[in-house]
Structure 1
Amino acid sequence: MQKVILITGGSSGIGKSIGEYLQKQGYIVYGTSRTPEKITNSLIPLVALDVRDVVSIKQCINQVIEKEGRLDVLINNAGVGITGPLEEIPMEEIKNNFETNLFGPIETMRAVLPQMRKQKSGLIINITSIAGYMGLPFRSVYSSSKGALELITESLRMEVKQFGIEVTNVAPGDFATDIASRRFHAPVLLNSPYKKVYGQQLATINEHVSGGSDPIEMAQGIAKIIKNGNPNVHYKIGAFMQKFSIVLKRILPDKMYEKMLMNHYKL
C-alpha cells in the first residue's frame, strides 16, 4: 500500500524539495500553502492550510483523509525565521513566530493523532533546527521556538508509542532556500545600541543561508526515516561543523561554549 504523506509548508524551500522527492519515490504526497491557488509551479497537489488557524488545520487534515482514506506520515515543515535583538523585536512578531513554529505544529499533530490511532500506525516528523539546540545571538526567538518543538516531540513520542505511532525530530542546518527573504528581520535602528553588531550579523546570517547545503540532502534524509520502522528520537542534517557544534555544547563548560559562539559571531 502506498503511504499517504502530508507536508506542511510544501510549496517552497525544503518542504517543496521533500515533497517532490518523495513523490518520485512512489508515495502519495500532499503539500500545503496558505494560498495554493497562487502556486503555479508545484509538482505535488497543494491543500490550503494556515498553521496559525485551528479550523484551517482540521479542514486540511480532513480533506486528505476523505480523499485517501488514511494518513500515514505528517511532516511538520512549515516555519518562519526571525532575527533581531530580543529587546527590539516587536512582541507581536515573537508571538507570530511561536504560533507558526510551535503552536501550529502542536495543533497539526493533535489533528492527525485520532486517525493514526485508528490505523494503529503513523509517523510524525517535526522539522526543527540545529539552532534549536543552542541560544544564538540575535536569533533568540527562532532558537527557542525550535528548541521547544524538539522537547515537545520527545514527550509526545513516549505518549503515543502504545498506539503504534512514531514521532521524531529532524534538525537541519543551513540550506540554500529562500527562507531569508521570508524571515522577519527586526530593523537595524539608527539609535540602537545594537546597531553596529546586529547589522553585521544580519548580513552574515543571510550569507550562511545563501551558501547552505542542497535541500535534496534533507529530502533524502527524510526518505530514509520513512523507510525505517523504528526511527531515532533526533536526526541532524547539515554541514559537519554545524552538527559538531551540538556535540561541543554537550562536552564543553557553559562559559567556554558561550565564548566560542561569541568569537564565531564576533561579539
Structure 2
Amino acid sequence: MSDKSQQKKSQLLVSRGNKNEDTIIKVKQTVIGGSSQTLIAGPCSVESKEQLVTVGSTLKKSGLSVLRGGAFKPRTSPYSFQGLGEEGLKMMKGVADEMGLVTISEIMSSNQIDTAAKYIDIFQIGARNMHNFDLLKAVGQTKKPVLLKRGLSATLEEFMLAAEYILHHGNDQVMLIERGIRTFETATRNTLDISAVPILKQETHLPVLVDVSHSTGRKDILLPCAKAALAAGADGVMVEIHPDPTNALSDGKQQLNMEEFQTFLDGVRDSGLYH
C-alpha cells in the first residue's frame, strides 16, 4: 500500500489514527469491549418460545447476558428454513425481557430496520450482507449498536471499510466479528483467521469478536478455537447452542446442546483467558 493510501487509512473513522482509545459499547447492563470479554450464545434460528426459554435460562444461570438468535435467515438454498421473521423477534424480546438479557439478531435489508428495532438490542449484519452498502448506510443512521460480520471472502481492509460506512453515517456503536473466510480447506466449514483479531485490534478502536461456530462448523474444536480467539485479544466469542441440535431447523451440526455448552463454558473459564 502506498504512503498516500496509508495516510488515508489512518484517517478513517474506524482507525486508531482517528481515535486511539477503545470503543466500549454498553447495552443495558452489558459492556462489550474494554477490559473484559463477552460470551454471546444462542440458537442459529429462533424456532419456538420453549427453545428460547431453555437457552435463556441456561445463559442466565451461567451468568451470561447476551442472547443471539436468527429470525430473518439468509440461506444458500431457497428451500431451507428462512426464519420466523417478526414473530421470532417477538419471542426473543419476551424471553429477554423476562430474564434480563440483551438480544442480537440479523437484519438483511433496510426495510427490516424499523420492525427489528422494536424487539432487539443489537443489529447483526451477516457475512453475506457485509457489502450491502444501502443496509450499512441505513443502520448507520440508527442509534442501535451493530455487530458486523466479515464477508465470506473479504479482506480486512474491505471489512474495515464496510464498518466505515456505518460510522460515516453517524453510528459509532459498531463491533467487528471474524466468522471465518472461504478458502480451499474442507476440514472446517470456513477457515478461522485468528490473525484478523490482533490486526483489527491494532488498526481499529472497535470491539473485535470471533464466531467459533460459523468459522469451524464443528463442535469438537469450538473450545480450542475460542481459547485461541481470547489469547489473540478478542473482546468476545460467539457460539451457537440449541436444546436439541439433532432436530434444529438450521446448522444443527455446529450447535452445542446445553450439556455440551456447559462443558465449553467451563473450559473457557478454566483457561484463564476469559475475564
TM-score (norm 2): 0.36
TM-score (norm 1): 0.37
